[in-house]
Amino acid sequence: MKKIFVLFLVLLISIMSACSFDESSRQDSVKNVHETAAVESSEKTVITKTDTKTAQTSAAIPKAESLNLGETDEWSFNSRSKFIYFTNYGRYYPVETSELKNKDYEDACGDMARHDAVYNLCLDDGSEKTVLDSTRNCMTYYCDGNSVYIYKYDNYDTHDSDGIYKLYKGDLTKLADYPDNGYISAVCFTNEHIYYSIFDEKKSAVYKMDYDGGNIEHIFDNPTKIWDMTVYNEKIWFERSFDMYQIHGLACYDMKTTVVSELKENHIGYINNNYMYYSEGEALYRINLSNFACENIIKLDDLLISFDFYKDYILYSSGSCLYKMNDDENTLIFSTEDFFENKGYQIREIQCQDNHIYILIGSGAFYQCIMEIDIDGNVIEVIHED
């Protein structure tokens, strides 16, 4: 009887051991299946990684303790649309033209009282006359001192003339055609390449090409509309839209690692000393491009319209007034009310370039004045007035 009991225990232990081995083998088998599937997936599909950052709300954004300004990044400045461009044979700026006669305009718009405000980029070669170029309906971008690079969207029916162009002394050379599917939604520049994004209502595809229009290369896709972008520190920084009513959200694509970092807020702006500065409503903010920390620089009671950097100052406009600001002062230096009877004129744009300060004064869509001033607000030259 005792021998039978011992044999029973040995048999029971063997069965339990076998069950344990089977369970362990099954777990190893399942683990190996998952690992194999993961390897096969990574081999079959190359996926851009996305790193989502926690965005700060405007209420949580702290005030910057000091500006610590440096040099404005050349290419974040060059990729922004401007109102005056300088070449070695003259300067370009937009001039209002009326290309439709009253009857034509009535037929087109059904509104005889409405003024026809059409702006063409013109060349001022110093001869007291402006030479108009065929640049109606265009976005102007970078000037290399010789040519101006524009995105032209003239023909809404066939788009035959649409695309990216180089403008030299009134001659337009097409570098990139309007895409067969979608349209060009953003353009930016670096020393070596022109970057542009094509949106087809489903996704954005970003490409780069040489300045002669050759060597076009696809960089990456993004499932949103890219409205604006710039290249800085081997990263493509871009502002994206989730739908037509929500145009915000800063992100960057690392061209070395292919990782996309996304923020739920923030915008494209000017880069100065590794900070992206941008305005939103009544405030000016900056975001650290290394750790994504956001700081408030200026908070006004009225809309902050425009800003730029001049040496160790930030210049910004609100309504008719222009201010200069650094860590020690925040001073009014210019007001349109000192020069114009119309109190509705606003300082719409500021452009600081090569130690010069240019301002664009406007009223609605039907008047503009371009001036050069100094840092104390003294007028150096009235360049153009409609």
327-341 pLDDT tens trace = 999 999 999 999 988
Q: What's the pLDDT score for residue 116?
A: 56
* Mean pLDDT, range 91-98, rounded to an integer: 86
Higher pLDDT, 211 or 160: 211
Amino acid code (one letter) for 21: F
Report pLDDT digits (tens) over 298-331. Answer: 999 999 999 999 999 999 999 999 999 999 999 9
Which residues, 6 or more positions from 291, have their beta carbon under 8 angstroms from its beta carbon? Answer: none
Q: From CA 78, how far away is CA 75, in angstroms rounded? A: 5
Burial zone of 163 (CB within 10 Å; 0-12 exposed, 13-18 middle, 19+ buried): buried
Q: Predicted confidence band at 59 (pLDDT cuts at 50, 70, 90)?
A: low
Instruction: Read off φ and ψ for residue 194, nearest 5 degrees.
Output: -105, 125
Length of the chain: 386
Model confidence at 180, in pLDDT bands (50, 70, 90)? confident
Q: How confident is the model at residue 89 (pLDDT cuts 50, 70, 90)?
A: very high
For the stretch 181-196, pLDDT in tens is 888 999 999 999 999 9
Q: Strands across the sheet with 356-362, in order?
A: 346-353, 356-362, 368-373, 379-385
Give the pLDDT score at 165.
93
Quick: pLDDT tens for 287-296: 999 998 999 9
Q: Three-state secondary structure along 48-102?
A: CCEEECCCCCHHHCCECCCCCCCCECHHHHHCCCCCCEEECCEEEEEEEECCCCH
| Nearest C-alpha neighbor of 67 from the set 232, 313, 375 | 313
At residue 42, the pLDDT reads 31
Residues 34-47 have a mean pLDDT of: 32
Residue 50 or residue 122, greater confidence: 122
Q: How many CA atoms lie within 13 A of 277 on its CB side?
A: 26
| Most confident listed range (7-16, 38-47, 296-305) | 296-305
Mean pLDDT taken over the chain? 81
Q: Residue 136: pLDDT above 90? A: no
User: Residues 238-262: pLDDT tens digits?
Assistant: 998 866 656 668 999 999 999 999 8
- How far is 94 from 36, CA to CA, in rounded Å? 61
For residue 354, what pLDDT is reported? 93
Integer angstrom CA distances of residue 163 from 79, 118, 178: 16, 20, 5
Give the percent of the chain with pLDDT over 70: 75
What integer pLDDT is reported at residue 61 of this predicted model? 86
156 pLDDT tier (thresholds 50, 70, 90)? low
With beta carbons less than 8 A apart as the criterion, state whether 266 and 294 touch: yes
